[in-house]
Structure 1
Amino acid sequence: MVETKQNFDSRLRVLTRKHRRMANGYTTRLRGDGLIVVKPKRRKAQFPLKGALLVLAGFFAFKAFMLISLGELTYADRLARLQNGTIVEQAGAWVMQADPVTKTIVTFTRVNLL
């Protein structure tokens, strides 16, 4: 009796796990003997593109805000000091340099705010 219950519980666990996986989608295949077999779709590891784009847009907005609030001369002076620092500071200066995207955001913001 105990063996029958353990067998039933293990089959029930397998079916429950398969059912949970099939909640995300499934495929059906016809085997050579005519039996239709249902299998859950495999989940693909997806890169969060929308999140990465939001982070990138936020970073450019931050750079534009810094450029507007400090002014171009002060911003350039601080970048020059960073470029003369350690390797990490030089990398930060390279990342924070005023690129065309940042300049476009600054121009757009200045035109629309003033």
Structure 2
Amino acid sequence: MADMKQDEFYRRLEGIERKHKTLSGGYVRLEERNGILTPVQKVRPKRAFPWRGLFLVALAFILFKATLFAHLGPIGYIRNHAELEQGGVVERMGAWILRPDPVTIFIADKIDPVVNAFNFLDRDTIVDQETYLDR
């Protein structure tokens, strides 16, 4: 009987020490309704690899490539890509990253009307500015 009570005492003591150890890293004092102050452990977010951020960066880069492809057109894009492939080490790395892939071409085909509409608006404003400057 005494051994059982002693085992329970040491088990409770280990629990208190474990709780004290976890709270020593940082705690917030919380006053309950009955006036007792109880320490509460801070909730710290786990530092995991930011997969969502990496995915969003990759998605933004693919959209950038698709917009560039739609703006320049296939021939202009390939011409500029060939120039990059002939350059130095940094240019060749950029050419490797910017090479047209099926996803980029698919997205560029979908956003091509929108990009061409903006190109048309830009050309109109340039013409208007040139005629304004000629006066």
What CA distance in whole angstroms lies between the structure 1 residues aligned with 2:43 and 2:88? 50
Shift of 1:107: 2.2
**Alignment correspondent of 2:27:** 19
* 3-state secondary structure, aligned to 1:94: helix
**Alignment correspondent of 2:66:** 64
**Alignment correspondent of 2:105:** 103
**Alignment correspondent of 2:34:** none
Structure 2, unpaired ranges of 5+: 1-22, 29-39, 118-135
Q: What aligned pairs does 1:1-114 form with structure 2 within 5 A after superposition? A: 17-20=25-28, 22-24=41-43, 44-110=46-112
Superposition RMSD in Å: 2.7
Moved more, 77-86 or 103-112: 103-112
Report the AA paired with residue 70 of structure 2.
I
What CA distance in whole angstroms lies between the structure 1 residues aligned with 2:71 and 2:113? 15
CA offsets 1:5-48 (integer angstroms, 9 cap, x no match)? xxxxxxxxxx67531582217xxxxxxxxxxxxxxxxx532111
What CA distance in whole angstroms lies between the structure 1 residues aligned with 2:51 and 2:61? 15
What CA distance in whole angstroms lies between the structure 2 residues aligned with 1:108 and 1:45? 38
**Alignment correspondent of 1:40:** none
CA offsets 1:62-104 (integer angstroms, 9 cap, x no match)? 0000001111101100100110110110010010011111012
Q: Flag the structure with higher helix content.
A: 2
Identity value in percent: 33
Greater Cα radius of gyration, structure 1 or 2: 2
Structure 1, unpaired ranges of 5+: 1-14, 26-42
Q: Which contiguous aligned blocks of 4+ residues in structure 1 show a shift greater than 6 angstroms?
A: 111-114
* 3-state secondary structure, aligned to 2:100: coil
Report how many aligned residue pairs link the two structures.
Answer: 84
Structure 2 contact 71–112 (Cα < 8 Å) conserved: no
* 3-state secondary structure, aligned to 2:80: helix
